Amino acid sequence: MVIRKLLAVLVVFASLQTAQCQIVKGTIMAGGGLGFQFQTDHELYAKDFTFHFTPLLGSFIVKNFVLGVAPIAAYTTHSVVTPNNIRVKDNVLSLGIGPFARYYVRLSSKAYFFVHGSPSVMASWDNYITSSSTTTTKTVSANWTIGPGFSVFVTKSIAVETGLYYNGMWHQASQYNKGNLISEGGKYVDHGMLLNVGMQVYFERNKKAKTATP
């Protein structure tokens, strides 16, 4: 609810702006998406918390085209009390990094269409904890994300964006108990659609160049 209200305020504010939004060659783009989710199931005595952070940092190397780096950080914790009153926790930490590329097409003075692509590598550690044991599953993934999006400037240097991406992951998992390898899983692929909402800030490095716009 708070996020929807903030986006509504930003859209109204953008509609009141009259200045042309310009991005010159060499402009630095920094921003990304940040998300939290907390959920409680009172019937099953379960609690879930999810955090994800997907920053972007890039530079426009030519008109309309930006290259950069896209780190990935996510954390999920799930705890539940079983019917025989045993508490179980499942914590997952994921870290990754990879390059990204975007090509922009100008739609109006404040709106742009873009195509985003980003391959990356990621490692995840899943700790399954009970009162008697702790099992860790380590997963190595190769990820790819590609798809279109829209960016709307709310000021001359700040834009909110929405993207609809096709996201895929190639995995290989290994399971450990107290540091000892107990099983090595097979290789498999997950894929699906991803709706991403974020914000970007654009910093001009060359204040004299004022004509190039994506």
> Is 214 within a domain?
no
Least confident of 12-21, 42-51, 101-110: 12-21
Q: Kindly state the average pLDDT of the residues 153-163.
A: 91
Q: Above 60 in pLDDT, residue 152?
A: yes
Res 22: pLDDT: 55
What is the tally of structural domains in the chain?
Answer: 1
Q: Kindly state the average pLDDT of the residues 132-158.
A: 89
> Is 40 within a domain?
yes
Residue 18, CA distances (Å) to 109, 162, 164 in order = 9, 22, 28
Among positive and negative, which fits the CA dihedral 108, 56, 10, 24? negative
> Is 15 within a domain?
yes
> Is 209 within a domain?
no
Neighbours of 24 (CB within 10 A): 19
Q: Which tops the pLDDT comparison, 207 or 193?
A: 193
Instruction: Could you list the beta-strand ranges (E) of 42-133.
Output: 46-62, 65-69, 72-81, 87-97, 99-106, 111-129
Q: For the chain, give the number of residues.
A: 214
Q: Which residues of 87-103 are buried (b: 16+ CB within 10 A; e: fewer)?
A: eeebbbebebebebbbe
Domain containing residue 196 = 2-203
> Is 211 within a domain?
no
Token readout for 30 is 């920094």
> Is 210 within a domain?
no
Residues contacting residue 204 through CB under 8 Å, at least 6 positions apart: 23, 24, 26, 27, 157
> Is 213 within a domain?
no
Q: Calculate the average pLDDT of the chain.
A: 80
Give the β-pairing of 87-97 and 111-129: antiparallel
User: How does DSSP classify residue 139?
Assistant: E
Q: What is the CATH number of the domain that holds 96?
A: 2.40.160.20
pTM: 0.70
> Is 162 within a domain?
yes
